[in-house]
A and B are shown apart, each in its own frame.
Chain A
Amino acid sequence: MIDYDKVLTPTVRATPPSGIRRFFDIAAQMEDVISLGVGEPDFPTPWLVRSAGIRSLEQGKTKYSANAGILPLRQELAAYMQRKYDLTYDPEREILVTVGGSEAIDLCIRAVVAPGDEVIIPQPSFVCYEPLTRLAGGVPVIIETRAEDDFKVTPQQLKAALSPRTKALVLPYPCNPTGGIMERADLEALSEVLKGTNVLVISDEIYSELTFGRRHVSPASLPGMAERTVVINGFSKNFSMTGWRLGYACGPAPVMKQLTKIHQYAIMCAPTTAQHAALEALRSCDEVVAAMIDQYDMRRRLIVAGFNEIGLTCREPAGAFYAFPSIAVTGMTSEEFCEKLLYAKGVAVVPGTAFGKGGEGFIRASYCYSADHIKEALRRMGEFVRSVAG
């Protein structure tokens, strides 16, 4: 009989499965569960975008596209990056359309990491950076961001994490799950530290449109940073297009040339239908996106005020669509809190530890839900906190 342990690599076998699966398996078995767990928008993809996808199907545009993506989309992306974030990219050589932002992250890590190389990863953050680094043979070096710093990376932390083997720094801002953002001054401080090094910044800006009352600043827009930054973004969160699986990477031509090769061999090209739909999203959805952001902003205020009212201290998340309140008042671990809350009140939230050890003492609550849904979840959580916090 085949011995799978001999077939599968030790690295892949040691990769842990996603940390919250268990909770949601329990939740699925229960009745009357109300979830704040989902990490995707509740708005449907804007109608204009869907109809552009349909139109492309009717016209039979169902073949492979150019490896880097259809040129009109890359041209429109160049215009969009300029208009939104003051970033200048050559659509022919510096933009690659990928299968979601996730593929772009994987490409970057694979392109720069040789066995033993280090990648600096701030946590709590999206779950993919650490396993992808390990799968490439790299060594994740974790920076634990702190609530009192609004979950930003400080220049001191960056300095301490750098080593001769550092190949890349991941900057996941606006941040899932903390809602933290990096403002211009924060980024300037980091760019001072990076000056003169050979460290590539992998800037995951998938939530770039979701900053409230301020404009997102990309590290690539700072003087001297474009040459060492790959900006990763996508259509999932900003345009409510999660299932279309479309993202993109923008960066210096010598890097993009290598990313495009991996993409060409592993993926071929991003889905053609999604590319045609995305073109419409960039051209005509400013108003729809603004209306969605307005809704998120109102829900954000509602959930933050609600958490603070029930005694779970919650800083104001400046970006993305998650609140990240502290559960210190209950004296429980994050996992304990989430499990007990689920059984006692039927509310599903995600333990902060699912996003790194530094998430201990916090929970992630998504506010991609209607105001009524959020209020009901908060009401139940209030009862729970009162019952356990004595």
Chain B
Amino acid sequence: MNKKILSLLSQNARLGAEDIATMLGMEPQQVAAEIHEMEQSGLICGYKTVVDWDRLESAYVSAVIELKVTPKVGLGFEEIAERVMHYPEVEAVYLMSGAYDLSVMVKCKTFQQVAMFVAKELSTIESVNATATHFVLRRYKEFDVELTNSDTDDRGNYLL
């Protein structure tokens, strides 16, 4: 496990082993091997693109749904979390401290679909006691990337 490689890849997943090796003063083969190992072990879970979907007309509708659930004896929250995360509409599931238990990020094509998903799927799960649905109105920052700012360099070319 190499934290520096992870840190570089988490900022920019497209950096190649060659560049990473140069930046860290390592051998490219060694970097490639370490990345491969982290992929195999599941420490690196995947590579995706950060998209500003709101720029498209066919934008998605996202919602954060709070679930209050009754944990099962012996299984805690695992069983319900696993059940919820398998739905294709679900992007993320977190166990939370505080007023509710599970936070579920859902993405659908329309508001109606989100509503139906909550009503027909989530609410009907036996151990779910209550739901609260919060729709996302606008995304400002995602995965550390500011979506609203165009990335301009306003530094002047002064001779310094």
Contact = CB atoms under 8 A, between A and B. Distances in A.
Interface of A: 18-21, 23-24, 27, 35, 37-40, 42, 126-127, 176, 298-299, 301-302, 305-306, 348, 350, 354, 371-372, 375
28 contacts: A18-B158, A18-B159, A19-B159, A20-B157, A21-B159, A23-B157, A24-B157, A35-B153, A37-B157, A38-B155, A38-B156, A39-B158, A39-B159, A40-B155, A40-B160, A126-B160, A127-B159, A176-B160, A298-B8, A301-B22, A302-B19, A306-B22, A350-B159, A354-B159, A371-B12, A371-B19, A371-B23, A372-B12
Contacts of B153: 35, 38, 42
Given A299-B23, A371-B15, 8 more contacts: A23-B157, A38-B155, A38-B156, A127-B159, A301-B22, A301-B24, A302-B19, A375-B19
Interface of B: 8, 12, 15, 19, 22-25, 153, 155-160
- Residue from the set B19, B153, B157 with the largest chain A CB neighbour count within 10 Å: B157
A27 B157 contact: yes
A225 to B, nearest CB: 27
B157 A302 contact: no
Given A371-B15, A375-B19, A298 B24 contact: yes
A305 B18 CA distance: 11
Contacts of A39: 158-160
A40 B160 CA distance: 8
A77 to B, nearest CB: 23
Nearest to A303: B22
Contacts of A37: 157
Nearest to A38: B155
B23 A348 contact: no
Contacts of A306: 22
Given A371-B12, A371-B15, A305 B22 contact: yes
Contacts of B23: 298-299, 301-302, 371
A192 to B, nearest CB: 33
Contacts of B15: 371
A39 B159 CA distance: 7
